[in-house]
């Protein structure tokens, strides 16, 4: 027992001793460091004073430091430091005049800084000056003509190669070029002004064509997905938007196979847009129609309607012609004129029609609600000579560019349900027909799959 106690005591005392030694060493180091710094400060003042005297080409650092009894190592460090700050000041105006070049050569000789070290110091100063200038230009996310020119002349003035410029500001250049490209492309229309801006940005950042292309290519699919979702959201792909998508595909060297899903979808969107405009398909039907009546849509449909006490749903067949809308089922059949339709609201899986007819108002669940909505909109448009834009489903399609952008960024370009980034659509959380607005708060990103699976009833 006593033995154990002694052992413990010994270890304890030993540890305290080591602790004291560590403490002592730290104090000593601190003192040494302070002394060295003081020596440096003193020598710096002496050296600056000496250099400030009228130019003497015979001045040599080694002689001077010997006279001052300052260790070589300190003398060298101080000299390099003085040279670095001198050089920084000299290049602050963006050029090195021949006269200045002569002076710095004399100075490096006097300070006996070896050429390799001179090169390193100068390179570091140039890098700092250039990086600062680039940061300043990119601070607002846009590169003006003037800024592009000033960066170019800075590179020329300081003799900075594109290679060095890229090395120093590569990361920031890369991301800001990509950001510029994204901003320009995402609304689906690339104006000639925007093309000029892109070019200016590329030039300002000293990016070669090859580099700029590879930056875009690495992000190509993501850019295409984003642009596509933005463009397609309103249900119309304009010629201008189509051009932008093609341009993006070419620029980014995306293959048709990469984009198969998008091309197929684009075809559907264009087809539906044509329907809505009144260019309707003719569908063969076995149902007897009146003379001059053309069938535009036929398919199975579950019709849901509310009575005072209950919600009923009956399954049957729906036919849309240029003159009538027919629903027939074993228990309930009716027809009404397209001109009776007051509003069409679409939710995934079905339509909600409001009509000023005795029968017809209710929910129509079909497999392709999107297509039925487009056809009905086209038929109604022909009947009423009205723009179908006044319908809920059409209104719901309208989301402003700002809202789209904000939603895209907020949701990080991913489906909020499953996190996929494959084929994204802007979805109204509460449908327009049920009072949901096209605001950032009511719009979210969903992949097509999740959007289709979204429950029909809210």
> Judging by beta carbons within 10 Å of its beta carbon (0-12, 13-18, 19+), is residue 78 exposed, middle or buried?
buried
Closest C-alpha among 99, 100, 161 to residue 126: 161
- By beta-carbon proximity to Zn ion, the closer residue of 231 and 450 is 450
| CA–CA gap between residue 380 and residue 230 (Å, rounded) | 27
Examine residue 447 and tell whether it contacts Zn ion (CB under 5 A).
yes
Q: Say how far apart CA 17 and CA 26 lie, in whole Å.
A: 14
Q: What does the alpha-carbon distance between residue 4 and residue 177 come to, in Å, rounded to a whole number?
A: 71
| Cβ neighbours for 165, distance < 8 A, ≥ 6 positions apart | 130, 155, 205, 206
Pairing outcome for strands 333-336 and 424-428 = unpaired
Both structure tokens of 327: 């629903």
Cβ 445 to Zn ion, closest distance in Å?
9
248 near Zn ion (CB under 5 A): no
φ/ψ bin of 75: left (φ > 0), alpha (ψ from -120 to 50), beta (otherwise):
alpha
- Write each residue from 409 to 428 as x if it is in contact with Zn ion (CB under 5 A), else as -, in one continuous string: ------x-xx-x--------
CB of 129 to Zn ion, least distance (A): 48
Q: Which two tokens stand for residue 269?
A: 């969107």
Residue window 154-173: x/- pattern of binding to Zn ion, with contact defined by CB under 5 A: --------------------
Q: Please identify, among the stretches 21-29, 87-95, 389-397, 448-456, the one whose residues bind Zn ion according to the rule CB under 5 A.
A: 448-456
129 or 450, CB closer to Zn ion? Answer: 450
Indicate the residue among 17 and 419 with the shorter CB distance to Zn ion.
419
For the CB of residue 427, give the shortest distance to Zn ion in the complex, in Å.
10
Q: Which CB atom, from 65 or from 451, has the smaller least distance to Zn ion?
A: 451
259/447 with CB nearer Zn ion? 447
* In the complex, least distance from residue 361 CB atom to Zn ion, rounded to whole angstroms: 33
CB of 131 to Zn ion, least distance (A): 41
Number of residues binding to Zn ion, judged by CB under 5 A: 6
Spell out the alpha helix ranges (H) of 141-238: 145-158, 162-185, 192-204, 209-218, 220-232
Between CA 377 and CA 344 the distance in angstroms is 8
The distance of closest approach from Cβ of residue 232 to Zn ion in the complex, given in angstroms and rounded to an integer, is: 17
Nearer to Zn ion, 222 or 283 (CB): 222
**Looking at beta carbons only, is 384 or 454 nearer to Zn ion?**
454
The residue range among 115-123, 129-137, 388-396, 440-448 that interacts with Zn ion, by the rule CB under 5 A, is 440-448
Please state the closest distance from residue 450 (CB atom) to Zn ion, in A: 3
User: Interface with Zn ion includes 229 (CB under 5 A)?
Assistant: no
Q: Indicate the residue among 159 and 419 with the shorter CB distance to Zn ion.
A: 419
Cα of first residue to Cα of last residue in the chain, in angstroms, is 78
Q: Is 405 in the site for Zn ion (CB under 5 A)?
A: no
> How would DSSP label each residue in 14-83?
HHHHHHHHHHHHHHHHHHHHHHHHHHHHHHHHHHHHHHHSSP-TT--HHHHHHHHT--HHHHHHHHHHHH
Q: How far is the CB of 203 from Zn ion (least distance, A)?
A: 41
Give whichever of 66 and 418 is closer to Zn ion, judged by the CB atom: 418
The distance of closest approach from Cβ of residue 348 to Zn ion in the complex, given in angstroms and rounded to an integer, is: 13
The site string for Zn ion over 356-395 (x = CB under 5 A, - otherwise) reads ----------------------------------------
Return d(Cα 120, Cα 216) in angstroms, integer: 33
DSSP state for residue 140 in the 8-state scheme: T
Q: Which stretches of the chain bind Zn ion, using CB under 5 A?
A: 415, 417-418, 420, 447, 450
């Amino acid at each position: 027992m006593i033995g154990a106690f002694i052992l413990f005591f010994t270890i304890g005392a030993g540890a305290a001793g080591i602790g004291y030694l560590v403490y002592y060493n730290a104090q000593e180091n601190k003192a040494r460091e302070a002394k060295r710094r003081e020596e440096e400060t003193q020598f710096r003042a002496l050296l600056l004073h000496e250099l400030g005297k009228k130019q003497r080409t015979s001045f040599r650092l080694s002689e001077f430091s010997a006279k001052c009894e300052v260790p070589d190592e300190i003398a060298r460090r101080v000299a390099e430091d003085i040279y670095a700050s001198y050089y920084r000041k000299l290049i602050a105006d963006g050029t090195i005049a021949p006269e200045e070049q002569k002076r710095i050569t004399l100075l490096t000789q006097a300070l006996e800084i070896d050429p390799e070290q001179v090169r390193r110091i100068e390179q570091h100063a140039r890098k700092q000056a250039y990086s600062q200038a680039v940061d300043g230009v990119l601070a607002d996310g846009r590169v003006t003509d003037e800024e592009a020119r000033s960066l170019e002349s800075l590179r020329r003035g300081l003799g900075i190669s594109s290679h060095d410029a890229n090395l120093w500001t590569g990361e920031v250049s890369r991301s800001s070029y990509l950001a510029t490209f994204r901003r320009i492309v995402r609304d689906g229309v690339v104006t000639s002004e925007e093309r000029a801006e892109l070019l200016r940005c590329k030039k300002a950042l000293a990016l070669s064509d090859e580099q700029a292309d590879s930056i875009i290519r690495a992000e190509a699919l993501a850019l295409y997905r984003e642009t596509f979702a933005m463009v397609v959201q309103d249900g119309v792909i304009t010629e201008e938007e189509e051009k932008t998508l093609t341009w993006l595909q070419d620029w980014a060297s995306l293959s048709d196979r990469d984009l198969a899903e998008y091309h197929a979808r684009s075809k559907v969107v264009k087809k539906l847009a044509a329907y809505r405009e009144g260019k309707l398909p003719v569908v063969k039907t076995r149902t007897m129609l009146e003379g001059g009546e053309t069938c535009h849509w036929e398919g199975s449909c579950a019709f849901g309607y509310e009575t005072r006490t209950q919600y009923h749903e009956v399954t049957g067949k729906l036919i849309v012609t240029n003159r009538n809308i027919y629903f027939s089922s074993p228990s309930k059949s009716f027809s009404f004129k397209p001109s009776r339709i007051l509003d069409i609201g679409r939710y995934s899986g079905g339509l909600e029609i409001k009509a000023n007819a005795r029968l017809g108002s209710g929910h129509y669940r079909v497999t392709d609600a999107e297509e039925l909505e487009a056809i009905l909109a086209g038929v109604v448009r022909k009947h009423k000579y009205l723009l179908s834009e006044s319908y809920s489903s059409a209104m719901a399609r309208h989301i402003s560019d700002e809202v789209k952008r904000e939603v895209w960024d907020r949701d990080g370009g991913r489906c909020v349900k499953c996190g996929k980034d494959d084929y994204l659509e802007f979805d109204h959380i509460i449908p327009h027909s049920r009072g949901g607005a096209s605001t950032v708060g009511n719009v979210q990103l969903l992949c097509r799959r999740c959007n289709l699976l979204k429950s029909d009833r809210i």
